[in-house]
Amino acid sequence: MKLLFAASEAVPLVKTGGLADVAGALPGALAALGVDVRVVLPAYRGALARLVEPQRLGELVVRGQRFTVWSGCLPGSTLVHWLIDYPWLYARDGDPYHDPQHQPWTDNAWRFGCFSEAVARLAMGEAGGWKPDVVHCHDWQTGLVPAWLKLRDGAPRCVFTIHNLAYGGVFPRSQFNALGLPPGWWSLDGVEFHGQLSMLKAGLVFSDAITTVSPTYAREIRTPAFGHGFEGLLEHLSPRLSGILNGIDDSIWNPASDPHLVQTYNAGSVRVGKRANRRAIQQELGLPQDEDAVVVGMIGRLTDQKGFDLLLAALPGLLKLPIQLVVLGSGDKQLENALAREALQAPGRIGLKLGFDEGLAHRIEAGSDLFLMPSRFEPCGLNQMYSQRYGTVPVVHRTGGLADTVTDATPRTLKQGTATGVVFEHADAGGLVWGITRGVELMRNDLAALGLIHAGMSRDFGWPAAARQYRALYG
């Protein structure tokens, strides 16, 4: 089976979120199952230099412009990556979607509309002659790929994965016209969405199968509370919709071999290892080495979706508990400023670093006792899986992939030895405080804490299981 895997980001070439982790790990897991995979991305600034001896695969003419396609592998890998190169569109400062001031690029419709058309032409063998059986597209940036392929005889079939329905790739109708899209696509059964162009809707309507990144999220997005206006369409398309839980790269997220930790550990040495990493993050973030405090970690994009506003609202109640809070993230400037003010007002209780620091992220996972994820919605989530692997007890809102991956500590699950965390029902300040209070109680009970830690560390969240489900879907 031949597969073209199309995404707008993938580690280690470029990352802004969980999509990059999926696109960086799932293709390799599929290749290990015998799937012939090519990964295609835009050639962002510096990406081409990361490939080993890239070769020019060919050229594609898209919207009257010539795009160069490069082929190569990453160091130490045999997985083939194709980069679609047009420097004026892709080789820019900033991240793939935003300028250095974190504003969306004003020509994103053109950038990813052209990328999608180029991917569709690649899938028809127009550069290099290699033609896949299936094209796997991800999020709105590749939403027009299935639409273009539906116009071609003998085209590959398409799978479209929703990583976050909140990002619909919505643009004014003028962008539909500028991209020269077929007039017949402008309809309720096509790409029109409340009078605008939605690239995500194109992916939903024109693909042969739709997946999300967890089973619970696949059900949630068919309801008004989580559907972002697409719930009616998704209910209509439900026969082709399924949820496949993301995995994690357990070669990178492995406490026994993690180079970012001050001391590695396994289930047998978890107490000693976590204590050493706990002291390291306390020192790194300017917190006192309080052995009695329960360290609560939180990492992520500073957005309301991730519940950072709920954290701020809950702080008066949280700071009454014997905890130290460690936070790493960046995003909304108002949330950044509010967290910075709270950290100044609670010295010794809140350790904050604004920005992204991969090493510190690993050390927070290893050194925390509890890991907080109060997301209002969470398609899959990765940190709750990292936490369990690192013997850190996740405290999560019951939604999406969080509900699918964390087993709540009830009297029954604790007795069975299957409990791995704390799950709270309401995404509000009260629910958050209740969850952390429950977590602190469990950490104060040595038998319960050790049971939670060992149950979490024994869970298998690796990619092979997901890869087998995707391979079956491609078939």
Confidence grade of residue 401 (pLDDT, cut at 50, 70, 90): very high
Looking at residue 94, its pLDDT comes to 82
Q: Quick one: 171 and 310 in the same domain? A: no
C-alpha–C-alpha distance, residues 68 and 61, integer Å: 9
Contact in structure between 172 and 197 (CB atoms under 8 Å): yes
Q: What pLDDT, in 10s, does the model give residues 30-52?
A: 999 999 999 999 999 999 999 99
Confidence grade of residue 315 (pLDDT, cut at 50, 70, 90): very high
C-alpha–C-alpha distance, residues 166 and 63, integer Å: 28
Residue 196 vs residues 137, 141, 164, 191, 377: alpha-carbon distances, Å: 22, 16, 19, 8, 25
Looking at residue 251, its pLDDT comes to 86
Q: Quick one: 80 and 201 in the same domain? A: yes
Mean pLDDT of 250-256: 92
Examine residue 253 and state whether it is found in any structural domain, yes or no: no
Looking at residue 102, its pLDDT comes to 80
Q: Quick one: 152 and 47 in the same domain? A: yes
Nearest to 419, CA basis, from 401, 407, 432: 407
Q: Is pLDDT above 90 for 356?
A: no
Q: Quick one: 189 and 316 in the same domain? A: no
Confidence grade of residue 128 (pLDDT, cut at 50, 70, 90): confident
Looking at residue 249, its pLDDT comes to 87
Q: Quick one: 280 and 216 in the same domain? A: no
Alpha-helical runs (H) found in 9-84? 18-32, 47-50
Mean pLDDT of 76-102: 93
Higher pLDDT, 252 or 432: 432
Examine residue 397 and state whether it is found in any structural domain, yes or no: yes
C-alpha–C-alpha distance, residues 339 and 314, integer Å: 12
Examine residue 453 and state whether it is found in any structural domain, yes or no: yes
How many structural domains comprise the chain? 2
Confidence grade of residue 109 (pLDDT, cut at 50, 70, 90): very high
Q: Quick one: 434 and 309 in the same domain? A: yes
Looking at residue 101, its pLDDT comes to 84
Q: Is pLDDT above 90 for 250?
A: no
Examine residue 256 and state whether it is found in any structural domain, yes or no: no
Domain extent, residue 335, equals: 267-457
Q: What is the CATH number of the domain that holds 314?
A: 3.40.50.2000
Nearest to 97, CA basis, from 199, 225, 248: 199
Q: Quick one: 302 and 409 in the same domain? A: yes
C-alpha–C-alpha distance, residues 245 and 462, integer Å: 10
Mean pLDDT of 183-199: 96
Examine residue 261 and state whether it is found in any structural domain, yes or no: no
- Which residue shows structure tokens 């190169």? 85
C-alpha–C-alpha distance, residues 250 and 145, integer Å: 31
